[in-house]
Structure 1
Amino acid sequence: MKFELLVSQGSENQIHRDVKTFEQWDSLTAKFSGAANLPFLLLQLPQIVLNARNLLAGNKTALLAVPWLGMLTCLLGNLSLLSYFAKKRETEVILVQTLGVISTYVVIVQLAMAEAMPLPHFVLTSVVVASGLVLNFMNYFKLLNAGIWRFWEDFITVGGLSVLPQVMWWTFVPFIPNSILPGTVAFVIAVVAVVMARTGKLSEKGTKFVGSISGWTATLLFMWMPIAQMWTNLLNPDNIKGLSAFSMLLAMIGNGLMIPRALFIRDLMWFTGSTWASFLHGWGNLICLYCFNSISREFFLAATLTLYIWIGIALWRDTKAYGYSSPLRSLKELAFGT
């Protein structure tokens, strides 16, 4: 009996120690996600300041270099992800996505002031942004009717699914014909899928899949951006000189800071998007800059070493927090669930 009591006490101590480690890593990963606000703010701020200077100088034509369609795509992606994380009550990431919506909208306002964006498109965008922010925060604080929230989810599902294939198609114009067919077909499919889900014509799994489309399309939109950038780099190597190494580093850091949290809460969509953006959009473009001698070897190696050490720490700490013996189990749970 005495031996059993000692074993029991030892087990309780072990459980207490594991719980403490788990809670500490839970708190830290949330703080890392919140800290991502800083690099993302610094990422957009130079463009906002530059646009403001050009507007004050009366140089409206300079703002034509900023593609309003690309900014609109980013805005839709941020709004979709804001809705996704608001539903999951991930406060720190909600702030990151809200900052993304607001900072991107500021750029769109500047483009509208420079007449670089059609006024009707700007007005419609403003209505969507205002509605999206209000609805998301009302839903976060549980002040919103469930029916209204479902309508908003359906709206961003249709919007995201329509935009994604169209943006992917436009990336390769003029090598392929300029057409709105991909977006139109995707729009029809999205509307049919949403209507079938809401009228109970789909199975439970099918309805759940339709409900997850908006988050995944937003993630895929952001995942496509570095591919489009690298395609541009391949076609026009001289354009690489126009890329900012500091901006690519900020993109790598901002997305990298969110990887531990995505892994910790076993969110495959978030983990996929953050890892992809950190490696391909940030580090991948740094590779392009290094290959074309736009950055020093020391800068590239320091960035590379930092990224890989950070990923290693995230995997190690997650394994320790859950009390596992191998990070492969964490990755397995992330991909396939517990």
Structure 2
Amino acid sequence: MEGCLLLKPFPKAPLQKLPPHSHYHPSLPLKQHTLSPPKPIPTPLNFHLYTKNTIPLSHRLKPIKSLNSDLQSPNSNSEKENWDSLTAKFAASANLPFLLLQLPQILLNAQNLLAGNKSALLAVPWLGMLTGLLGNLSLLSYFAKKKEKEAIVVQTLGVISIYVVIAQLAMAEAMPFEYYLVTSAVVLTGLILNFMNYFNFLDAGIWRFWEDFITIGGLSVLPQVMWSTFVPYIPNSVLPGSVAFVMAVAAVVMARMGKLSKEGVQFVGSISGWTATLLFMWMPVSQMWTSYLNPDNIKGLSAFSMLLAMIGNGLMIPRALFIRDLMWFTGATWASFLYGWGNLICMYCLKSISRDFFLAATLGLFVWTGVALWKDTKVYGYNSPLRSLKELIQGT
């Protein structure tokens, strides 16, 4: 066509694909082009990154106050963490009174033994001491399994100190020697197995056997000790312990053979802990019954030991309440109020301690318990301590 310049198209060169998301510069060969990270695509997961880089500061979303009101404030979280740490320190500090708990009684027993006054040791019932010893040993297994270090130390000190008192009672012939030998073997075996299990040196099968042993032993000893406490007002009999032994063996065998439901297996597994707590709880009952029958022997009982028992168990109440451990709370509260304070009541009524001593101990115990309940209610943000106690009982 005239007046038109026909241009011949250049032959098409093969296209080379650029690496994705590269910055191209004509002076660089393709292989030297550097990769840059892809820009984030706004999604619910990375929207904060997208808005930070693309939306002006003045148009960014601000937190909605109505949503913010439902969140727990940092101060309450911090207060709860502080109380958690403090209750653990209280439980650890209970080691001191428990370390000294039986010391006054041990020294008093030693003085009476050296003076040849063996009858004074009859004020300390060997059945009550044996009950407390077995309770401490079983609770040691319970806390060793839960890895509660502070409670493990407390229970170990309890086992050792009560065992020393039992040895003194055996020396004074206030406890049958054959019972003392059996008790010594059980205590030594229990201490070794518990600490081997805590440091993961023990075979699981051996530990299960020990758990079965303390379950059967605790369930057999508890009704027998309770029955024997009131002899001779009731006939002397081994029937309660024998019946309980048969029932305990049957329950353990059925649980191991898978003949029980899941709830039944859990119940059998919790028996040892609860029988330990009940054994420990029966100890003050036995002591007060002995004081009632033999009021003249009350001078052989150390008031300072009772005070230390009250303080040591009282120091563990806030921790047991905070972590919602009903068994621990029940044992600590019972021992503090009935073993410690209850025996002080008996001693005050029999004029073995002064009025000022008794009133000071009473005021301290009730104020401390009230503070523990109030503080637990506050850190959990509740309106009443009944809410904390309800959660404790229900296990929530």
TM-score w.r.t. structure 2 length? 0.77
Distance in 1 separating the partners of 2:222 and 2:94: 25
Cα offset for 1:120?
5.2
Give 1:83's aligned amino acid: S
Aligned to 1:142: 200
Q: Does structure 2 retain, via aligned residues, the 8 Å contact 1:63–1:116?
A: no
Residues 74-132 of structure 1: CA deviation (Å, up to 9, x unaligned): 22211100000111111101000011122223334455566766665444433322221
Q: Does structure 2 retain, via aligned residues, the 8 Å contact 1:36–1:96?
A: yes
Answering whether residue 370 of structure 2 is matched by residue 312 of structure 1, we say yes
Answering whether residue 152 of structure 2 is matched by residue 84 of structure 1, we say no
Q: Does structure 2 retain, via aligned residues, the 8 Å contact 1:63–1:111?
A: no
Give 1:103's aligned amino acid: S
What does 1:72-221 align with in structure 2 at a 5 Å threshold?
72-110=130-168, 121-221=179-279
Distance in 2 separating the partners of 1:99 and 1:224: 19
Residues 279-311 of structure 1: CA deviation (Å, up to 9, x unaligned): 111112222223333333322222111111101
Distance in 2 separating the partners of 1:116 and 1:234: 18
**236 and 312 in structure 1: CA distance in 2 versus 1, 3 angstrom threshold:** same
Give 2:362's aligned amino acid: T
Distance in 2 separating the partners of 1:243 and 1:306: 22
Q: Does structure 1 retain, via aligned residues, the 8 Å contact 2:219–2:244?
A: yes
Aligned to 1:321: 379
Aligned to 2:8: none
**138 and 185 in structure 1: CA distance in 2 versus 1, 3 angstrom threshold:** same
Aligned to 2:302: 244
Q: Does structure 2 retain, via aligned residues, the 8 Å contact 1:29–1:261?
A: yes
Aligned to 2:26: none
Give 1:283's aligned amino acid: W
Structure 1 range deviating more: 182-191 or 15-24: 15-24
**218 and 46 in structure 1: CA distance in 2 versus 1, 3 angstrom threshold:** same
Cα offset for 1:278?
0.9
- Higher Cα Rg, which structure: 2
Q: Does structure 1 retain, via aligned residues, the 8 Å contact 2:307–2:341?
A: yes
Cα offset for 1:8?
6.7
Answering whether residue 33 of structure 2 is matched by residue 33 of structure 1, we say no
Distance in 2 separating the partners of 1:257 and 1:102: 20
Residues 45-73 of structure 1: CA deviation (Å, up to 9, x unaligned): 13333455566x49495696355544333
SS in structure 2 of the partner of residue 4 of structure 1: coil
Answering whether residue 310 of structure 2 is matched by residue 224 of structure 1, we say no
Q: Does structure 2 retain, via aligned residues, the 8 Å contact 1:160–1:218?
A: yes
Distance in 2 separating the partners of 1:326 and 1:290: 34
Distance in 2 separating the partners of 1:113 and 1:243: 18
Cα offset for 1:240?
3.6
**234 and 156 in structure 1: CA distance in 2 versus 1, 3 angstrom threshold:** same
Residues 211-250 of structure 1: CA deviation (Å, up to 9, x unaligned): 1111111111121122222323333443444433222211
**142 and 7 in structure 1: CA distance in 2 versus 1, 3 angstrom threshold:** farther
Answering whether residue 60 of structure 2 is matched by residue 4 of structure 1, we say no
SS in structure 1 of the partner of residue 63 of structure 2: helix
Aligned to 2:351: 293
Q: Does structure 2 retain, via aligned residues, the 8 Å contact 1:63–1:114?
A: no
Give 1:271's aligned amino acid: F
Distance in 2 separating the partners of 1:144 and 1:287: 45
**280 and 107 in structure 1: CA distance in 2 versus 1, 3 angstrom threshold:** closer
Give 2:355's aligned amino acid: R
SS in structure 2 of the partner of residue 176 of structure 1: coil
Structure 2: tracts of 5 or more residues without a match: 1-59
**179 and 134 in structure 1: CA distance in 2 versus 1, 3 angstrom threshold:** same
Tell me the number of residue pairs that the alignment of Structure 1 and Structure 2 aligns.
Answer: 336
Residues 27-55 of structure 1: CA deviation (Å, up to 9, x unaligned): 11111111112212222113333455566
More helix by share: 1
Aligned to 1:302: 360
Q: Does structure 1 retain, via aligned residues, the 8 Å contact 2:229–2:286?
A: yes
**129 and 117 in structure 1: CA distance in 2 versus 1, 3 angstrom threshold:** same
- State the identity as a percent: 74
Give 2:255's aligned amino acid: A
